[in-house]
Structure 1
Amino acid sequence: MENLTSAGFLLPILAVFTILFAVPLAQTVYYSFTDFSGYSTDVSFVGLENYRKVFSDPGLLQGLSFTLLFAISTTILITVCAIPLAIALDKKFFGRDFARSTFFFLSVPSMAILGLVWQYIFSPLESGVLNTILRTVFGADAVLWLAESSLARACVIFVGVWGGVGWHATLYLAYLQAIPRDLYEQAEVDGASKLQQFGNITLPQLVPGIVVSTFLLMSGGLKVYDLPYTLTKGGPGFSTNTLTQSIIVQGIAQGRANVGSAVAVLFTIAVAAVVLAQLAVANRIERSMS
């Protein structure tokens, strides 16, 4: 009877999962093997032709490379910046609450809003905010921030880090406050330096938080769409194009739902592989720390 009651509670969740995930995923897999355009219901089986087009399309390959670059770069940079920031915000100093609120506020606006704001700041025109400052203060020429491929990629990654550091620092701060202060007092009595306390106490205690943070960063980075689209529209060329943008453009704007479905299937497999790898590494780290 108890099992039946538990199953009853799980039925709504199962129904939502089936309707919103399983059925659309099955349809996407099916359309990826057909010539479905997104409008006509008359489809024919084409085998792996759509997947061949994906791997021969330079725009899609560029989207794949930048998506991986963005996800990995933002994960590493945000983690490296957020942990020291959280440690600094955990200390007692005048205006600490205001500082915590300020850094957290950086993560409140959506990435789409941040993209629009920073598009104005990084404008490659001489009237751009950053170029105006460089010209006024240093007498420098205008920099093509969003008009040159490598600079555009760097700008997108920078804004991604800007928008994520505050939130993840708050996450780490919550884990820091859960560490017993007695551990640090005992370490000081034993003569441990601040660096030794960080390596032997703080960092091991932050491992669960690092696992959660990096999981969110990687999965979010692989699915990123709004920030590059509002900041650079995927340009110049395809230099800041992402996989999610490619799926939308191929499937909706260009009426190539078959190719867009193939990209979506490959994207789903890639995200699942990354998530499973992260979970495996996290479990191994937690076992080694216990």
Structure 2
Amino acid sequence: MGTVLAPPRSKPPLQRAPRLTRLQRLRRRGIESYLFTLPVVIVFVVLFAIPLAQSFYYSLTDFNGYSTDADFVGLANYTTIWQDSSMLSALGFTLVFTVGTTAAITALAIPLALVLNRKFFGRNLVRSVFFFPSVVSVAILGLVWGFIFAPLGTGVINSIIGWFGAEPIAWLAEPTLAKLSVIIVAVWGGTGWHAVLYLAYLQAIPSEFYEAAGIDGATRWQQFRYLTLPLLIPAMTVSQLLLLTGGLKVYDLPYTLTGGGPGFATRTLTQSIIENGIAQGEVGKASALSVVFFVAVGLIIVAQLALARRLESRFS
């Protein structure tokens, strides 16, 4: 007798996972987004928001950094800032340094990037040479250039001009020359780095654009004016934003090069905040200066970004 085959068992139907509604999917994505941004928010609150709130509170008191008791003085610290000649001098030099270095580095870095973008023998070596000053610490640059600009006859520059019978120049002992020397060193150290930044944007421009412009009869100046320069506006925005923020909070270069002197000629806002807040125990006044400095930097950055967006929309 043959074996009787049992009929095949039917497989149980697969249970599908419950389908999420659109609202549930949005809520899940929102929760995941919050979880990813939570560490950034914690760091921002701990390292920025809380110290800023404390600085604003201390700016309204006579807190000296040591005693736990601090009396409320209102806006007295803010009034004192505008009556302190050293702080006004620091504010003036900081603005001059920021504007001077931003304008000079931008004017030098773009042509340098155009040259470095061309093909020539030893191009990579030349790029490295111009980029090297930005690798060294700014404080070390200040110490080295302090010897180069030494006002005595033993200084490097004064020794060179002494060969031609000229008298030593007080590079760091005369206020105007000291300010100019600090700006020169900052421009020397930052031009190569920003030139490399512009170079990266130049290499991202397709060569077909220039070929089409050449076929249409555009000269090199016209190609730069109507093609290269508009496409470099995003790079200019990044570069100038870094220069503005770095110039407004500069401390190490003027301090190591001139110590803030002669007098208060090259004293910066950051140096005033540190010395008044720590050395002299005037935390309240230093905090008020910090708050004013923070507001000023914020306004300058907003204005710079608005100008950059306007230029981008104009040339796009």
TM range (shorter): over 0.9
- Give the 5 Å matches for 1:136-215: 136=163, 138-215=164-241
Q: CA deviation at 1:143?
A: 0.1
Q: Find the aligned partners of 2:133 and 2:72 in 1 and give their Cα distance.
A: 49
Q: What corresponds to 2:6 in structure 1?
A: none
Corresponding letter in the other structure for 2:78: Y
**Aligned residue runs from structure 1 range 51-62, under 5 A:** 51-62=78-89
**Structure 2 CA distance for aligned equivalents of residues 35 and 154 of structure 1:** 37
Deviation at 1:257, TM superposition (A): 0.5
Aligned pair 1:105/2:132, yes or no? Answer: yes
The C-alpha deviation readout for 1:14-35, integer Å capped at 9, x for no partner, is 1100000000000000000101
Aligned pair 1:227/2:227, yes or no? no
- CA distance in 1 between partners of 2:165 and 2:277 (Å): 47
Counterpart for residue 287 of structure 2: 261
| 1:204 Cα offset (Å) | 0.7
Could you tell me how far 1:167 is from its partner in structure 2?
A: 0.3
Query: Where does structure 2 lack aligned partners over 5 or more consecutive residues?
Result: 1-27
- Per mean C-alpha deviation after superposition, the further-off stretch among 276-285 and 112-121 is 276-285
Once the two structures are TM-superposed, the CA of residue 113 in structure 1 deviates from its matched residue by 0.9
Residues 1:16 and 2:43 aligned together: yes
| 1:242 equivalent in structure 2 | 268
- Spell out, residue by residue over 1:91-141, the C-alpha distance to the aligned partner (whole angstroms, 9 max, x if none): 0111111000110111111211110000000000111111011102x2110
Q: Take 1:146 and 1:22, find their aligned partners in 2: how far apart are those partners?
A: 39
In structure 2, C-alpha distance between the alignment counterparts of 1:166 and 1:113, rounded to whole Å: 17
Q: How far is the alpha carbon of 1:284 from its aligned partner? A: 1.3
TM superposition score normalised by structure 2? 0.91
Equivalence for 1:26:
53
Higher helix share: 1
Question: In 2, distance between residues paired with 1:267 and 1:113?
Answer: 26
Superposition misfits of 4+ residues, deviation over 3 angstroms: none
**Which residue identity lines up with residue 176 of structure 1 in the other structure?**
L
Among 97, 102, 114, the residue aligned to 2:141 = 114
Q: Does 1:277 align with 2:303?
A: yes
**Is 1:93 aligned to 2:110, yes or no?**
no
Residue identity opposite 2:255 in structure 1: Y
3-state SS of the aligned residue for 1:228?
Answer: helix
Question: In the aligned structure 2, how far is the partner of 1:18 from the partner of 1:228?
Answer: 31
Calculate the TM-score normalised by the size of structure 1: 0.99
CA RMSD in angstroms comes to 0.6
Unaligned runs of 5+ in 1: none
**Displacement, 1:189?**
1.5
In the alignment, the residues of structure 1 paired with residue 289 and residue 210 of structure 2 have an alpha-carbon distance, to the nearest angstrom, of 50
Task: Report deviation, 1:187.
Answer: 1.4
Aligned length: 289
**Cα deviation per residue 1:49-74 (whole Å; 9 max; x = unaligned)?**
11111100000000000000000100
C-alpha separation in 1, matches of 2:214 and 2:42? 55
Which of residues 156, 160, 171 is equivalent to 1:129? 156
User: Cα offset for 1:288?
Assistant: 1.6
Q: Distance in 1 between matches of 2:237 and 2:40?
A: 26
- Deviation, structure 1 residue 183: 1.2
2:240 aligned partner, one-letter code: T
CA contact (8 A) 2:251 2:270 kept: yes
